[in-house]
């Protein structure tokens, strides 16, 4: 769970393990007796599955978008024997499916008042470096916050051929001015997706510093998020910013990369967005090893970003020209 320490500058983030799903498909409706009639009816509107394909080029483009360099051949050169997608690539295949959901049924809905509040990603299987996938999308939870609505969507990204679940994403958006419709005001415990963890009060066990590029947002947007807020100064000014801001999912990926470099792979990441980063700013990630978790804090002048993870022994699965490489089950 995230704690906001200032209106603009701070976010805390939690990364934790969760078990593999027992279902291979999502239920048609996530019913809840506490839902208002408006929400119950909205949940019945089954969303169409959304197909998505990507190639090694898309993997490289994403890796570059969150700070990989030409020296990181395992992330930027498709012929490298350890070529792989960085773990947070899992937010990419589902993006069009989750962002395309209609929220027009909410009272006083205004898309200009929508904020991306939280993102939870669970890596359920080794990440292919190319393939064809299908996204199953459902409304998971809707909360009436009084002056705002909180809407959480769940997306399973599955291999189109095998049906294996590769990623689970839970995406929460806040819509200002769209509350007052009745029903639930507080969400239920969803395990890792809503877990609370507190960073320790001691010196970190590892630190990584990275300066983002002034062109970071212009590069990251090529992975599918074309919101002009991140590239057009005049549009950013409408939002009250002096310049375009960096995508939240971009600096989430940078922080996740730092943890991967220091402590190895992880299987879950959950973030809450409550501050902004500008392209060109320097990020510093401090990390603490606590039992089987790593808690980290990524910060610059403008924000603090904390998380915790457990290490994972799952390695990427590479599929090219009929070739399949299995992953070791232990180090």
Looking at the annotation, which residues are catalytic? 225, 230, 245, 248
Mode of pairing for the β-strands spanning 131-144 and 148-159? antiparallel
Task: Read off the tokens for 39.
Answer: 């929400």
Q: Rounded to an integer, what distance in angstroms lies between the CA atom of residue 64 and that of residue 61? A: 5
């Amino acid at each position: 769970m995230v704690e906001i320490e200032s209106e603009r500058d701070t976010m805390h983030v939690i990364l934790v393990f969760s078990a593999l799903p027992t279902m291979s498909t999502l239920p048609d409706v996530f019913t809840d007796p506490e839902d208002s009639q408006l929400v119950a009816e909205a949940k019945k509107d089954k969303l169409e599955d959304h197909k998505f394909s990507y190639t090694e080029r898309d993997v490289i483009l994403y890796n570059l978008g969150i700070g990989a360099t030409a020296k990181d051949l395992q992330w930027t050169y498709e012929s490298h024997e350890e070529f792989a997608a960085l773990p947070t690539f899992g937010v990419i295949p589902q993006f069009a499916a989750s962002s395309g959901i209609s929220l027009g049924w909410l009272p006083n809905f205004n898309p200009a008042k929508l904020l991306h509040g939280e993102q939870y990603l669970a890596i359920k299987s080794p990440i292919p470096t190319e393939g064809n996938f299908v996204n199953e999308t459902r409304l998971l939870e809707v909360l009436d916050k009084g002056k705002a609505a909180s809407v959480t969507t769940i997306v399973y990204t599955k291999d189109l051929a095998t049906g294996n679940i590769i990623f689970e994403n839970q995406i929460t958006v806040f819509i200002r001015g769209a509350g007052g419709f009745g029903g639930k005001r507080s969400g239920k415990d969803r395990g890792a997706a809503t877990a609370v963890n507190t960073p320790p009060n001691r010196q970190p066990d590892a630190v990584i510093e990275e300066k983002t590029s002034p062109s970071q947002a212009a590069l990251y947007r090529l992975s599918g998020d074309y919101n002009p807020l991140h590239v057009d100064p005049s549009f950013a000014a409408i939002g009250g910013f002096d310049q375009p801001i960096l995508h939240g999912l971009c600096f989430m990926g940078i922080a996740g990369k730092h943890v991967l470099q220091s402590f190895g792979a992880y299987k879950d990441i959950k973030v809450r967005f409550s501050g902004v980063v500008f392209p060109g700013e320097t990020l510093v990630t401090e990390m603490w090893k606590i039992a089987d978790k790593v808690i980290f804090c990524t910060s610059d002048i403008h924000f603090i970003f904390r998380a915790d993870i457990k290490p994972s022994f799952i390695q990427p699965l590479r599929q090219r020209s009929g070739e399949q490489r299995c992953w070791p089950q232990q180090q």
